Amino acid sequence: MGTAEQTVEVVDLTETTIRELNQRLHDAADGGPQNWRITHPNGVHAIGAGINAPLEIDIDGHVGYYCAGMNKEANIRIHGSAGVGLAENIMSGTVIVDGDTSQSAAATGRGGLLVVRGNAAARCGISMKGVNIVVEGNVGHLSAFMAQKGALVVCGDAGEALGDSIYETHIYVRGSVAELGADCIEKDFKEFHTAELTGLLAEAGVDADPADFKRYGTARKLYNFNIDNADAY
């Protein structure tokens, strides 16, 4: 006996305001439609902000600032590129962008997974607090700045000041690094890190050999103020 096809709620943003859309997505947490398709986003800001339900959402096109901000539980797929602050402060769930993303992707993210099929601009993962990020292309300068927890996987190259003032986030880069930030150093792979990287690549659907990556992390010299390191603060 076949499984009944799930109904998909289609919202056209040329006919529905972003406020109305987001209210409907919030209301879905109380038993509304669980599968959504959003058409003609045309770079509108804040699509799907503040979702708190295990929704499945496909967005057909490019999105503006802060798409999927504060996401909790939802799985969101963007069939295009994204503006500043994609998945900012994500709590859980998955956000996948098929194209590129602008600055501060997954900034302050506390959980969940962000996958960028293209490139991520500056400050990707800034102050991340538990989110995992996989970027198939390159990341810009100051990525993982003050990153506290979670992992950043870069399958391409990384810009200047990578991991500046980093805490305990794990960074894996397959390509070149223009410059490491303050207190960020190259570190050895241990069995745990190989397993972590292998798992993240598989979860993100990326075909890459973990052996091709280098690992970077904190030197733990800036945890407490030391006058000898004053120039590094």
Higher-scoring residue by pLDDT: 203, 3? 203
Q: Is the pLDDT of residue 173 over 60?
A: yes
What average pLDDT does this structure show over 169-194?
Answer: 97
Predicted confidence at residue 233, as pLDDT, reads 57
How is domain 42-223 classified at the architecture level of CATH?
3 Solenoid (2.160)
DSSP string covering the chain, please? -PPPPPP-EEEETTTS-HHHHHHHHHHGGGT--SEEEEE--TT-SSTTTT-BS--EEEEES-B-TTTTTT-BS-EEEESS-B-TTTTTT--SSEEEESS-B-SSTTTT--SSEEEESS-B-TTTTTT-EEEEEEESS-B-TTTTTT--EEEEEESS-B-TTBTTT--S-EEEESS-BS-B-TTEEEE---HHHHHHHHHHHHHHT----GGG-EEEEE-S-SSS--GGGGGG-
pLDDT in tens, 15-62: 999 999 999 999 999 988 999 999 999 999 999 999 999 999 999 999
Task: State pTM to two decimals.
Answer: 0.94
